[in-house]
Structures are given as C-alpha cells and as structure tokens.
Amino acid sequence: MDVIERYLDEVLVANETTNLTRIVSRESAEILHIEDSLSGMKYMDEAPDGPYVDLGTGGGFPGVPLAIKTGRETLLVDSVKKKTAIIQGIVDKLEIENVSTYAGRIEDLGREMPAHFAVATARALSQLPSLMELAAPLLVDGGLLICYKSHLSEEEREHAFSLENKLGLKCIHEDIFTLSDGETTRCMFVMKKFKDPDVKLPRKTGLAQKRPLK
C-alpha cells in the first residue's frame, strides 16, 4: 500500500500542470482512486494467470494499484501520449517494474497483441457493448473483462447481454455497492471469454463507439 500511496501522491503533483484526473483532493482521491481501484481485486483473483491490461487508463487507475497488488505484468493503455509519458515517468521513478504503458488506440493493440491478456479492466471508459467489442480480441480464452461503471441503464445492460454469443463474452458477475464515502455507487460488470467472437475483430478504429454492434 505504501507504493500505491506514493504513486497517488505523484499523480496529484503531476495533475497540477497536466490534467490526469478531475479529483484534486487527497482525501477524495484515497476513496475514488485507491479504494475504487482495489474494489476489483476479488475479480482479478478469478482470472487465469497471465498479463493484465488497463484500457483507457487515464491517470493509471485502476491499473497501477491492481498491478502492484497482483504482481501481474501490466500494460496501461491510453490514446493520449502526454498522459502515458507522465505515468511511465512516475512508474519508473517508483521502480514499479511490472508496469509499462502503451500510447495508442485499443483497436491497434488488438491487432498487435491478439489473445494476449488474461484480464482487462476499463473504468468510466465507454458503454458496455463497446467495451466488450474492444476487449474480446485482446483476451485469452477464459480471460476476464472487468468494467467499473458508476451507473448502468437497463438499455445498456440488455444490449450487452444480447452480444454475449456474438462477442464470446459471458457475464459472470454483476455487483452493485457503495464506497466508504457512503455516496459513490459502483456497478461492477465482469465478463468471461468463452469462445472466439463470431465477427472479425478489431473493426476499423472508432467503430466500436460510433457504430456499436447489434
């Protein structure tokens, strides 16, 4: 936890000059970054052995805390090169040797490293159907996609369930809980890859969000 706390301190300092997070209070960051990130640990433990990827990592949450706690080889992915450069600098400074960064689009990573990761996370990144499409080509058979959502509409939920067979990802956990501030609600949606997708993935960059599969 000491390394995680030091990482958070470094992010908050860097955030004074570069927008890594909208959370600037140390007290709030403890809950909304560290506690929230580590709420995914119990699902990580269910994933097969192998590397971990955090999609749309932003300031490195939940990726860095989960990487430190699990010891998994970890790749933090974000399309904003300035962010990944800062995060890589902090990771190097703190000598967190199992973490590296990837500055680029998730679709490109899917082409470069297909079926490579045992577990993927995504926090406040996109709608579930889009996340499923982006993660499916990255995961090994039996790999898990762990989605951190603040709210999940019935429409989004049903759309995600309708794509399970097409994308080869089946929901194994759908948990709703409140963080220790008594205010922040978190919906965790965990999906397991049980087969290869029926469609060729990744599609052209951006289509997962612009034109989600039906």
CB 33 within 8 A of CB 21: yes
Looking at residue 194, its pLDDT comes to 98
- Residue 86, token pair as written in the block: 């800062």
Tally of domains in the chain = 1
Domain range for 89 is 2-210
Q: For residue 140, give the CATH number of its domain.
A: 3.40.50.150
Looking at residue 124, its pLDDT comes to 82
> What average pLDDT does this structure show over 83-90?
97
CB 77 within 8 A of CB 121: no
pLDDT-derived band at 1 (thresholds 50, 70, 90) equals: confident
Question: β-pairing, 169-178 with 139-149?
Answer: unpaired
Element (H, E) at 151: none
Write the pLDDT tens digit of every residue in 105-145: 999 999 999 999 999 999 988 999 999 999 999 999 999 99
> What average pLDDT does this structure show over 133-161?
96
Residue 95 burial (CB count, 10 A): 7
